[in-house]
Amino acid sequence: MASNSAKSAPKKEAEELNFFKNASALFEKAADHLTLEAGVRTVMKTPDREVTVAIPVVRDNGKLDVFTGYRVQHSFVRGPAKGGIRYDRHVNLDEVRALAALMTWKCAVVDIPFGGAKGGVVCDPRELSQRELEAITRRYTSSILDVIGPDRDVPAPDVGTNEQTMAWLMDTYAMHVRSASTAVVTGKPIALGGSRGRTEATGRGVMLVTREALKRHKMATKGQRIVVQGSGNVGGIGARLLMEAGHKILSISDMYGAIYDKKGLDMVDVLAYLSKHKKLTGYPKAEALSHEEALELECDVLVPAAIENQITLSNVDRIKTKLIVEGANGPTTPQAHKRLEERGIPSVPDILSNAGGVTVSYFEWVQDRQQYFWSEEEVNRRLEEVLVRSFHDVVDTAQTHKTDYRTAAFILAIGRVVSVYRMRGIFA
């Protein structure tokens, strides 16, 4: 008996952390609420198209290496597919499939006219030179060229890719189609048709959704004690904007550890230190904490904005917050989420609270197509409009279906995709 449970414990843990399985479980729960029939469930779960490509590249040392690239286009039902490209040594087809489906639901939650996609190349960008990265990006782009385009599928940056990667992708596409088709990709440099406000968009969205959730839960919209995990594009910018909105950032972390000040951190100073030293370690004006200590601090709002699977069955009972706003994708496992609900701690789910990025990507695509560019104020005003409306759509759905915000966000999203699918009918 004892040896059996000892053996099954790690297996159980691995099951809890399986991203693909977790995404499927969320889908099924929402589909049950919508009483979707089996056939439609299968259509909604099955990616429209999956492309796997071989990417031969001559390395700097003269050797020829072949990398593997994926592009999974989950859905075109509501518009062109949309989703990032990830360069990471652990990328695999199951992960890309799950992320592509999540993009479909994320675009539908905020009601922007896109489907969902995701791409990936199995490589470690930190081990590649700029020339090698450019060669991989251009060959990958030319291999998926037939299935992308402003009306087909519009990629964007993700883990391991950035503005430069998008500029190479856009240029490769432009060379092939013989036109400067800037709308083929978002997350580009502003000089190349990028949008003002895109860099801050996801963090700004986290700040806006936090404000709406505080109002909804009758908590003050200033002066809350907030713990943020992750100090990158989402966590760092989100924490600064939350501080500027009048909250106290008790703690923020990066992959090396966390810092803490019970009087509240000066996020402008912290981010200046981070940009100079590349890590928070050694920040002189705060106390150092471990990752666990930071995540388990007593606070009013917890914002996990680093990586997936951070709140799990192994630590959920030590989380001491009143509200969770998910900046990262998948920071809470479904099992931990269930436990948080039992404990009365609401979570604003990732597909809503980090949708600011894809919303401004949509604005970038619109601006590129019009060749008319908006001011940052205009971008921020429209972003606020979309996120406030979407937050209330999710709250209304939660009330109608007597469920939590996460399930409600999936019900809303899947319901929107299914309704368009039924209107369009099945092409045979």
Q: Are 109 and 352 in contact (CB under 8 A)?
A: yes
For ligand NAD, the closer CB: 144 or 234 = 234
Q: Tell me the closest approach of the beta carbon of residue 329 to ligand NAD, in angstroms.
A: 4
Nearer of residues 110 and 408 to ligand NAD, judged by Cβ: 110
Query: Which residue, 33 or 106, is less far from ligand NAD as judged by CB?
Result: 106
What is the secondary structure of 112-143 as a DSSP string? -S--EEEEEEES-GGGS-HHHHHHHHHHHHHH
Query: Whose structure tokens read 């904490």?
Result: 289
For residue 6, the minimal CB distance to ligand NAD (Å) is 26
Looking at the Cβ atoms of 254 and 300, the one nearer to ligand NAD is 254
State in angstroms the smallest separation of the CB of 232 from ligand NAD: 2
DSSP 194: P
Distance, CA of 29 to CA of 38 (rounded, Å): 13
To ligand NAD, the closest distance from the beta carbon of 230 in angstroms equals: 3
> Helix (H, G, I), strand (E, B), or coil: what is residue 208?
helix
Residue closer to ligand NAD by CB (options 233, 333) is 233
Residues at the interface with ligand NAD (CB under 6 A): 202, 229-235, 253-255, 291, 305-307, 327-329, 354, 357
Q: Which residue is nearest to ligand NAD (CB)?
A: 232
116-122 vs 64-75, strand pairing mode: antiparallel
Question: Among the options 82, 118, 188, 248, which is catalytic?
Answer: 118
Residue 279 falls in the annotated catalytic set: no
Of 202, 253, 222, which is closest to residue 361 (Cα–Cα)?
202
Distances (CA, A) of 132 to 54, 65, 163, 171: 15, 11, 16, 16
Total Cβ atoms within 10 A of residue 259: 26
Min CB(356)–ligand NAD separation in Å = 7
Catalytic machinery residues: 118
